[in-house]
Amino acid sequence: MPKMKAIVCHGPKDYRVESIDRPVAGPNEMVIRIAACGICASDRKCWSGAGMFWGDPWVKAPVVAGHEFFGHVAELGPGAAEHFGVEPGDAVIAEQIVPCEKCMYCRSGRYWMCEKHDIFGFQREVADGGMAEYMRIPANARVHRIPASLPLEDAAIIEPLACAIHTVNRADIQLDDVVVIAGAGPLGLMMVQVAACKTPKKLIVIDPAEVRLDIAKSFGADLVFNPAKTDVVAEIKALTGGYGCDVYIEATGAPAGVTQGLQMIRKLGRFVEFSVFGSETSADWSIIGDRKELDLRGAHLGPYTYPTAIDLLSRGKVTSKGIVTHKYPLDQWDEALEVSARPEAVKVLLQPNSAA
């Protein structure tokens, strides 16, 4: 059996560069040669052993990590070309969730909330993730072709961009809205670009990293604030006649991002929660109901938004420039993980088939 290199998760803080069997495509399956796989904030939380991952069977080690991947068709199993509508060599991406196609959510078209909820890079019983030289794409994966003209860096952010689009869509942004996006990490910066396409009255970004605020400004943010230097709640209230913002999108992953938003959003506002938290987050729920009657919305994954993400990138409406900051081969996994946590490193990519 041919071997390949991969990052295998064995448990908290136990990710190893290993040589494992290269996957083989079965009926209606394909194997792709990975071009790039991003390191996500949820990957770092998973690596650290955050309770939400390790307190339940969500992560089933050992498993090859990685869900922000794309690659090129290397092998097609029987019927796979027709099943997926692809040819050898095509650039493709599979959505991170692999729907069971049997639960009530999948049967009603709401596949991103699949009850079984298998996601690449977390459960090997479905398929390993994209931090490897090759990856098997099972028959029930949702696959999208990528134009050959799309640069590697742009193709590598399709998955998080799809999530950003879904989040902004959940906010239902109107032309006269004052919109606040809290968190200017990779996802937040993509949300800024997408929200700017909606042309709200004012687009405001909050983040403690000045370098990321500069990027947000270049992406169309009207105002940016560092919460370590500015009373952001008071500032937003002052900008809105004391009422507060119409829309608040929480993308910080920090509990303070939640309580801050509840304070600065106006009555009857729309609060969109996107982040994955590493610990339990508490808030005064009376604000949501009795005091403000907020429209509280969650945002999960990128349902039906991959084609839009590919289109926006292809037309230059959204870009990876300023977002993709570092690239590493698999052998440098430890360094890549450490660098990915730095404020100046927005999105770190692993390139499994590149030389060190």
Q: Read out DSSP for 22-42?
A: PP---TT-EEEEEEEEEPPHH
Give start-end residues of each CATH 3.90.180.10 domain in the chain.
Answer: 3-157+320-350
pLDDT of residue 125: 74
Q: Are strands 118-119 and 134-137 parallel, antiparallel or unpaired?
A: unpaired
| Cα Rg of the chain, angstroms | 20
Average pLDDT over residues 256-281: 93
| Phi, psi angles (nearest 5°) of residue 25 | -85, 130
Q: How confident is the model at residue 247 (pLDDT cuts 50, 70, 90)?
A: very high
Query: Distance between CA atoms of 333 and 66, rounded to whole angstroms?
Result: 12
Instruction: For residues 40 and 68, give the distance between their C-alpha atoms in angstroms, rounded to a whole number.
Output: 7
Residue indicated by tokens 């095509």: 90
pLDDT of residue 297: 98
Is the Cβ–Cβ distance between 114 and 103 less than 8 Å? yes
**Nearest-CA neighbor of 186 among 7, 332, 32, 43?**
43
**Residue partners of 188: CB distance under 8 A and separation at least 6:** 181, 182, 205, 207, 212, 216, 251, 252
Mean pLDDT estimate for the chain: 94
CATH 3.40.50.720 range(s) for the chain read 164-298
d(CA 21, CA 76): 17
pTM, to two decimals: 0.96
Could you give the 3-state DSSP secondary structure of residue 144? Answer: strand
Predicted confidence band of residue 57 (pLDDT cuts 50, 70, 90): low
Cα separation, 140 vs 295, in Å, equals 34
The third-level CATH classification (topology) of the domain covering 3-157+320-350 is Quinone Oxidoreductase; Chain A, domain 1 (3.90.180)
Q: Return the amino acid letter for 176.
A: D
Alpha carbon distance 350, 104 (integer Å): 36
CA distance 188 to 205: 9
Answer yes or no: CATH 3.20.20.70 is held by domain 164-298: no
Confidence of residue 127 (pLDDT cuts 50, 70, 90): confident
Of 25-39, 89-103, 115-129, 133-147, give the lowest mean pLDDT range. 115-129
Q: Coil, strand or helix: which one is 93?
A: strand
Report the C-alpha gap between 302 and 299 in whole angstroms: 9
Tokens representing residue 128 in the block? 């390993």
Contact 283, 257 (CB under 8 A): no
